[in-house]
Structure 1
Amino acid sequence: MNKTFKIYAVIFIVVMIILALFEVNKTESTDWRKNFKTYQKSPFGLFVFDHEIRDLFKNKVRKTDQTPYDYYNQNQTKKPHNILIIEHEVDGESWNKIFDQVAGGSDAMLIVSDIPKEISDSIGYYDSKLSFEEENVLKLTDKKYQNDFIKLDKFPSGRGFTFIRPGAEVLGKTVEKNNTDQVNFIKVKFGKGQFYVHCEPLFITNYYLLKKGNVKYAQDIFSYLDDRETVWFDESNSQVSRFFLRFILSNPALKYAWWVLLGGLVLFIFFNAKRKQRIVPIIDPLKNTSVDFVKSIGNLYLQEGDFHDMMAKKAQYFLNKVRMDLLIDTQNLDAGFAKKLHLKTGKPLEIIDEAIALIKRAQDPYAQVMKEDLTRMNNLLDQIIKI
């Protein structure tokens, strides 16, 4: 066993001991978030309601995770029924389907803390947060239900209706000690059916349904719906995580062990890779020797003193440039050629004529040339076309 392995083992054991101490001494915390999910057993989940709803509706409830738009497209001949929506966002096209069903004789019960704009625009009422009291009581206005109420002592929303259109019927109110009664449950006729809207969904959460006597209030609320099939649009189950590590991550002890394992692997890879990194050799970049080559060739010609051959090559390269770039025929170096070159380059005819004369001398194998002729021709050709 080498020294590095011993160090890693000691670090791992120390970390595990620290995590174990935290796990033993930690206190369980309650999740008070208002999630309204049917699979949640936290205080404000709907796990209890999901198991009791069949008794409330006499086994005439159908729960679906489809949107109302998709559901009614597949059930276009649906007879009048009840529609239930609890703290669930619905898209505009789905609201249109719900409106059509209610107008045809169905009843819709919405238990939502924020009234959707589609509902308030179509039915004509608004809501807002009216109270910040820590406790209140939900009561129904019907005399036969006057003895049934529910006390909200944990995070009530304090929402109520501030404006209700004429013709809407008030079915329930929120009662507080230091505030006037607030309307929280109404009934609005729409076509052949009705909308029932309750703006305090806490009364059907696990925390309140498990308290003695509170179930009666929920039964009173749902008694306003006719005894017929009820469709509950709920996407809670479709949102359950299908991640393959969901069991490990849902268990605190396994989650800590999983993160420690990942952390250990990262540290091992980091230190191991650092120690075994091979030395990267320094490779000099390739040098560009083109300029050196050109200088060498030029020096060779100068040493030989063959100015005639250098003029011939310069003239040949110049004429090739004229053919390729200016598209001028170089077969005959006459006055026509000089005029075309003058028009396309804009250079004076005197310079062009002198350059043509030097080119012809370079092409004549028997002509005598001097170094000065090579220099002069090179300057003239560079003036005409920069090579």
Structure 2
Amino acid sequence: MKDLKIYLISATTLFIIYVVANVNRPKPVNWAETFSNKDKIPFGTYIIYDRVKDLFPGAVITSQRQPIYNVLTDNAANQASYIIICYAINPSKTDYGQLVKYIKQGNDIFIAANSFGSLFEKNLGIDTKTNLNIQQENTPVKFLNPALQSPTEYLVDKGAGNYYFNKLDTTKAIVLGNNANKMANFIKYRFGKGNLYLMTNPKMLSNYSLLTPQGALYAATVLSYVKNTKQIIWDEYYTQGSGEAESPMRVFLNNPQLQWAYYIAIFSLLGFVLFEIKRRQRIIPVIEPLTNSTLDFVTVVGQVYYEKHDNINIAHKKVLYLLGHFREYYHLKTTKLDNEFADVLAQKTGIDSKFAVELINTINFITVQTQVTDSQLIQFNKLIENFYNQSGYNGK
């Protein structure tokens, strides 16, 4: 017991010394490029999100942490401008298709990112690059519209203006701004009645940039291109994620002080356990592993259904399980099963559109039946198995 007390006192003393030292240590500047509207660090976007109402007076600002497709298919997103500020964006094929469709309806979308992903590069013929010239660490930027020019070029340090489009199809894009090397960094695309704005320097919209007069003026000017609608959708999906519940351990591991405190506690506990095992180790009894009765259970349940010959009950359960799979795995609403739902299902899963229509029609048929024959049940089961094969779902 005496050795244990000495160990506990020593560990407690070291922990107190560590906590006091960290409390009195100057907090280092976090230069992480999060571009999150919750972050007040240099490369967060807390300031511009807090003052965005000054740029769009009368508009309702709505922060979203869902994929582009989910947001733009919501009726509440009609007639709204969409703003995305992030380090990099790489939308899926479904998201990109919905984005273009939304713009064609007369809406504006503004994206500021260092990289725009494979679909933008393929469909718009663009690519981005950064200026790695050591002699020109900070690249000035400017607008091509003479009415928007400042007395001097816009210059913010920390490489805020160093990214540019090194590949650009000028037959499709309208160049609105470039850098001191005459490389485009702010462009516009027309899709139907709306506009897509792409800007390669999200740092110019960060807290660090907005604390300088030139940075604040540049941010206000570049966002003035976006249509002032009754609603502004501010995207945080590409900076903060979907907002789903995260592990509490992320709080410890994202904070350096808490991270080291956690490691010290773990290693201290491990040392204590090893020390105690050496002194008081007991014989570990052999415990027979539990038998796996899953297969027996499935066999019994299958035998019960086979003897009752309750086809309609089996068919309805298969429908419920399949619709639950649509909701949980593909995040689809199953309240209305029609041709439009079949099209969305085909896009989300990659199955053939005609097969999707056949599957949905069969589900609607089974749902209203009071009796199902053996052949109908077998055919329905084949359709379900074919769906899983085409969608590539492996049951995990």
TM-score bucket (shorter structure): 0.5 to 0.7
Q: What are structure 2's unaligned runs of at least 5 residues?
A: 286-396
* Aligned residues of 2:90 and 2:118 also touching (Cα < 8 A): no
Aligned partners of 1:150 and 1:203 also within 8 Å: no
Task: Name the structure 2 match of 1:349.
Answer: none
Which deviates further from its counterpart, 97-106 or 47-56? 47-56
Determine the C-alpha separation between the residues in 2 that align with 1:21 and 1:112: 40
Q: Which residue of 2 aligns with 1:364?
A: none
1:160 matched to 2:164? The reply is yes
1:67 matched to which residue of 2? Answer: 67
- Tell me the distance in 2 between the aligned counterparts of 1:270 and 1:220: 63
Question: 1:277 corresponds to which residue?
Answer: 281
Shift of the 121–28 alpha-carbon distance from structure 1 to 2, 3 Å rule, reads same
Change in 2 beyond 3 A, CA 1:211/1:89: same
1:233 to 229, 232, 235: 235
Could you tell me which residue of structure 2 aligns to residue 210 of structure 1?
A: 211
Report the residue type matching 1:141 in the other structure.
L
Tell me the residue number matched to 1:351. none
Letter aligned with residue 158 of structure 1: N
What secondary structure is seen at the aligned counterpart in 1 of 2:140?
Answer: strand
Whether the aligned pair in 1 keeps the contact of 2:124 and 2:172 (CA below 8 Å) is: no
Deviations 1:171-223 (A, max 9, x none): 11112xxxx32211111222222211111111111111122342221111111
The offset of 1:141, in angstroms, is 1.4
- Unmatched segments (≥5 aa) in structure 1: 282-387
Q: Confirm whether residue 146 of structure 1 aligns to residue 174 of structure 2.
A: no
Amino acid across the alignment from 2:236: D
Q: How does 1:165-184 map to 2 (within 5 A)?
A: 165-175=170-180, 180-184=181-185
Equivalent position of 1:354 in the other structure: none
Q: 263-272 or 124-133, which moves further after superposition?
A: 124-133
Deviations 1:139-171 (A, max 9, x none): 111112111753121134622123332253221
Residues 279 and 152 of structure 1, relative CA distance in 2, 3 Å threshold: same
The whole-number CA distance in structure 1 between the counterparts of 2:275 and 2:105 is 71
Alpha-carbon spacing, 1:15–1:202, altered in 2? closer, same or farther (3 Å): same
Q: 2:132, 2:118 → 1: CA distance?
A: 21
Alignment of 1:42-57 (within 5 A): 42-57=41-56
Amino acid aligned to 2:111: L
The answer as to whether partners of 1:138 and 1:152 remain within 8 angstroms in 2 is: no
Q: Using the alignment, how far apart are the partners of 1:119 and 1:272 within structure 2?
A: 60
- Taking the TM superposition and a 5 Å limit, the aligned residue runs for 1:225-374 are 225-228=226-229, 229-235=231-237, 236-237=239-240, 238-239=242-243, 242-244=246-248, 256-278=260-282
CA contact (8 A) 2:45 2:205 kept: yes
Distance in 2 between the 1:186 and 1:271 partners? 65
Give the paired residue count: 275
Q: Distance in 2 between matches of 1:126 and 1:63?
A: 28
Classify the secondary structure of the residue corresponding to 2:73.
helix
State the Cα distance separating 1:94 from its structure 2 match.
0.7
Q: CA deviation at 1:134?
A: 1.2
RMSD of Structure 2 on Structure 1 (CA): 3.0
Query: Cα distance 1:22–1:240, how it changes in 2: closer, same or farther (>3 A)?
Result: farther
TM-score, scaled relative to structure 2? 0.61
Q: 1:266 to 1:174 in 2, by over 3 A?
A: same
Instruction: Return the offset for 1:261.
Output: 3.5
| Counterparts of 1:213 and 1:156, CA distance in 2 | 12
CA distance in 2, matches of 1:24, 1:60: 41
1:82 equivalent in structure 2: 81
Whether the 8 Å CA contact 1:113–1:157 is kept in 2: the answer is no
Report SS of the residue matched to 1:151: coil
Hey, what does 2:10 align to over in structure 1? 11
Q: Hey, what's the Cα distance between the residues in 2 that align with 1:104 and 1:9?
A: 68
2:175 partner amino acid = V
Shift of the 264–231 alpha-carbon distance from structure 1 to 2, 3 Å rule, reads same
* SS of aligned partner of 2:276: helix
Looking at structure 1, the residues matched to 64 and 284 of structure 2 have their Cα atoms a distance apart, in angstroms, of 62
Distance 1:267 1:197 in 2: 55
1:18-39 per-position Cα deviation (integer Å, ceiling 9, x unaligned): 5257536744322212122222
Aligned CA distance change for structure 1 residues 254 and 100 (closer, same or farther; 3 Å)? closer
In the TM superposition, what whole-angstrom CA distance separates every residue of 1:311-358 from its partner, at most 9, and x where no partner exists? xxxxxxxxxxxxxxxxxxxxxxxxxxxxxxxxxxxxxxxxxxxxxxxx
From the CA coordinates, give the structure whose radius of gyration is larger: 1
Q: CA deviation at 1:111?
A: 0.8
TM-aligned CA distance change 1:118 to 1:249, over 3 Å: closer
The residue number in structure 2 matching 1:95 is 96
Query: Identity of aligned pairs, percent?
Result: 25
Q: 1:130 to 1:254 in 2, by over 3 A?
A: closer
1:199 lines up with 2:231 in the alignment: no
Correspondence for 1:137 among 127, 132, 140: 140
Q: Is the 8 A contact 2:31 2:42 kept in 1?
A: yes
Higher mean C-alpha displacement, 252-261 vs 188-197: 252-261
Residues 280 and 120 (structure 1), Cα distance of their counterparts in 2 relative to 1, 3 Å cut: closer
Structure-2 change in CA distance of 1:268 and 1:225 (3 Å): same
**How much has 1:250 moved relative to structure 2?**
6.2
Aligned counterparts of 2:61 and 2:118: Cα–Cα separation in 1? 27
